[in-house]
Amino acid sequence: MTTNWTIDGVREALAGRKVSARELTKEFFSRTAARNGELNAYLALAPERAFAKADEIDAAIADEEMLPPLAGVPVAIKDVLSTRGIRTTCGSKILENYVPPFDATAVERLEAAGAIILGKTNCDEFAMGSSNENSAYGAVKNPASLDRVPGGSSGGSAAVVAAGLAVASLGTDTGGSIRQPASFCGVPAMMGSYGRVSRYGLIAFASSLDRVGPFANSVKDVATVMEVIAGRDPRDSTSTTAPVPRYSEEIGRSVKGLKIGIPREYFGAGMDAGVRGKVDAGIEIFRKLGCELVDIHMPHTDYAIATYYIIATAEASSNLARYDGVRFGLRAKGNSLLEMYRNTRGLGFGPEVKRRIVLGTYVLSAGYYDAYYLKGQKVRALIAQDFRDAFLKVDAIVTPTSPVPAFPLGERTADPLQMYLADIYTVTGSLAGVPGMSVPCGKIGGKLPVGLQIFGPAFGEGRVLQLAHAFEGAGGAAV
């Protein structure tokens, strides 16, 4: 049976009666049984739901019905997205036994398009992390090298696609949590513009930054999944009314003549020499494709990490206040209400979540709000303006996804600042609200994947996917 399935491959195999949806689903569960023990990428599986959907697809094929775009495609869902009847923990002990009564909009749309939900993927607790080592249920291992991190916080979603345990998956991105693990695991993945994909059913970390997006084995598959999950949702007031283009059809257009901005601020000290070599070679591919390379200046880039961690932690401290042992989730015993609060949050939250709650509470407190949070919002506006100014001159911006390849497990856990700096090239697009994508750009030593990041203007996902598809087709993954 095929090892690396694509969406088109699944559809063709099902339509040609070469395999049934039930057989394919069984195959993916068998693969997971064989490899999840070493990868720790899935936290929960949903065989009952998956086989019920597979039987529905097989019945439609038997009746010669027209198949929906993701018919029979096995997919995985990051464990911060609500799934009806399937345990949803956010990688945290505080939600260890939480089973939502509803599906997130993105999950609902996948299943309506025929996708088969295999299960929930491991992630940093409440999506807070850059390595997937902050999960209460153990670290995920990188399929490319089991002694290395897969990236975070969507490391499980990246790993299951890279290891062939799902054809596509959903992750979430707050400051790089889709793009950085895609880079580390060597798969393409996309963060759409803020508002492009509904956040309904996404358990919040930082509400003005959180976004849902897909991982897959090819840029075309990323485009197909984005087409399915994007669009207005009345249950999410921040979702856009802008129409969703046919991304899967747009990606084949020529990129000749497009202007690609290369921001000097993303190529400074601290970048691994191997990453630099691969990204430089990747940029040269765009020149060969007929793109015009333009040097640009984005002056507020250096302030992005500090700005991001002020705003994100402030929003996290507010969003996570609801986990108090009263309404749902873990409840620890206490002799008073206050003691019960303290015990519940003390036992339920891990050290990184506690660190961010404390920092966020501090920057929002009386006397510090103006000095930190308000100033952070002002700098965020300047970073967004850098992107708007750049897109007056260029059609897209190309940068490294990460300054380093996947680092060894445990290397940065004792140094939170070094861990945060792994997001130095991704947080800018998060703060600006623009779409971004990581595509594979070779491997260091033939082993450790490198990612190339492409940013587009707000709601310019089609342009990003067009460039990524051209890059992939020109052999970008093998530079």
**Selected catalytic residue, list 82, 154, 157, 177:** 177
Confidence of residue 328 (pLDDT cuts 50, 70, 90): confident
Whether 1 shows a pLDDT value over 80: the answer reads no
153 a catalytic residue: yes
Mean pLDDT (whole number) for 13-32? 97
Average pLDDT over the chain reads 96
Helix (H) and strand (E) counts for the chain? 16, 11
What is the percent of the chain with per-residue pLDDT over 90, rounded to a whole number?
95
**Selected catalytic residue, list 153, 154, 193, 402:** 153
CA 39 from chain centre, in angstroms, equals: 18
154 a catalytic residue: no
177 a catalytic residue: yes
Q: pLDDT by residue (tens digit) across 160-175?
A: 999 999 999 999 999 9
Q: Which tokens in the block code for residue 248? A: 């899967």
The confidence score (pLDDT) of residue 421 equals 86
* Phi and psi at residue 450, to the nearest 5°: -120, 145
**Selected catalytic residue, list 78, 120, 220, 278:** 78
**Strand 116-121 to 259-263 pairing:** unpaired
**What pTM did the predictor assign?**
0.96
Q: Please tell me the distance from the alpha carbon of residue 477 to that of residue 381, in angstroms, as a whole number.
A: 34
Q: Please tell me the distance from the alpha carbon of residue 80 to that of residue 98, in angstroms, as a whole number.
A: 11
Q: Assign residue 293 a region: left if phi > 0, alpha if psi is -120 to 50, beta otherwise?
A: beta
Looking up tokens 């939502």, which residue turns up?
Answer: 100
Confidence of residue 418 (pLDDT cuts 50, 70, 90): confident
The confidence score (pLDDT) of residue 218 equals 98
Whether 327 shows a pLDDT value over 90: the answer reads no
Q: pLDDT by residue (tens digit) across 38-87?
A: 999 999 999 999 999 999 999 999 999 999 999 999 999 999 999 999 99
Q: pLDDT by residue (tens digit) across 138-195?
A: 999 999 999 999 999 999 999 999 999 999 999 999 999 999 999 999 999 999 999 9
Whether 269 shows a pLDDT value over 80: the answer reads no
The confidence score (pLDDT) of residue 86 equals 97
Q: Which tokens in the block code for residue 392? A: 């007056």
Confidence of residue 286 (pLDDT cuts 50, 70, 90): very high
